């Protein structure tokens, strides 16, 4: 089929029907390009058609529990089995599996960038900008306490910890290694 569009482009407007086909080819090319760009801009949503809906449910559960360790009813795991498997294969989440119960211990969100994806879907832009501003302005030797930042931003603690981890991965600071502790020490 590509040969047909190639010859049509060469013929161009010399033939009455060719100009219409050139326009159709341009629209097809444009749609294909738009789909490719969408996959680049939002690679997570494009992994499976149910991932945005699943992710919204995960974010609501994370907010309700203020935790990255989540458990849902069996119907949830049946309904979202494939997109959950994709998220797990990409290391966005982890789960313990058993033969008859594939999510025996629920799921655990492991990737801070996935939490940022969740925030992009569901969270208030002003709250996120305030959080980023607070962490970005943490100077050398200053310590941020996640619970205090949570009170100031009204965001779930896992969101705050994820931003801490992202800043740490850039070398801008260090997160506390103490279990249950949410603190960030600024380096730059």
Give the per-residue SS3 of the chain. CHHHHHHHHHHHHHCHHHHHHHHHHHHHHHHHHHHHHHHHHCCCHHHCCCHHHHHHHHHHHHHHHCCCEECCCHHHHHHCHHHHHHHHHCCCEEECCCCCCCCCCCEEECCHHHHHHHHHHHCCHHHHHHHHHHHHCCCCCCEEEHHHHHHHHCCCHHHHHHHHHHHHHCCCEEECCCCCCCEEEECC
Q: What is the mean pLDDT of the chain?
A: 86
Predicted pLDDT at 42: 78
Minimum mean pLDDT range among 27-36, 106-115, 143-152, 176-185: 27-36
The band of 174, judged by pLDDT with boundaries at 50, 70 and 90, is: very high
Q: Is the pTM of this model over 0.95?
A: no
Domain topology for 124-186: Arc Repressor Mutant, subunit A (1.10.10)
**C-alpha–C-alpha distance, residues 50 and 63, integer Å:** 20
Q: How many CB atoms lie within 10 A of CB 164?
A: 26
pLDDT of residue 9: 54
């Amino acid at each position: 089929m590509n040969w047909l569009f190639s010859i049509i482009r060469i013929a161009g407007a010399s033939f009455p029907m060719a100009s219409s086909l050139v326009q159709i080819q341009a629209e097809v090319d444009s749609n294909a390009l738009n789909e490719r760009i969408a996959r680049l801009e939002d690679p997570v949503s494009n992994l499976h058609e149910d991932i945005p809906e699943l992710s919204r449910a995960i974010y609501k559960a994370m907010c309700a529990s203020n935790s990255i360790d989540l458990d849902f009813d069996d119907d949830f795991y049946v309904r979202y089995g494939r997109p959950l498997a994709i998220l797990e294969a990409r290391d966005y989440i982890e789960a313990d599996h058993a033969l008859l119960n594939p999510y025996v211990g629920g799921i655990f969100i492991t990737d801070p960038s996935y939490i940022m994806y969740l925030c992009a879907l569901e969270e208030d832009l002003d709250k996120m900008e305030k959080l980023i501003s607070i962490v970005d302005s943490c100077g050398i030797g200053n310590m941020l306490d996640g619970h205090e930042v949570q009170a100031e931003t009204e965001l779930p603690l896992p969101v705050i910890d994820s931003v801490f981890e992202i800043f740490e991965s850039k070398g801008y600071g260090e997160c506390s290694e103490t279990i249950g502790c949410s603190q960030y020490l600024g380096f730059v």
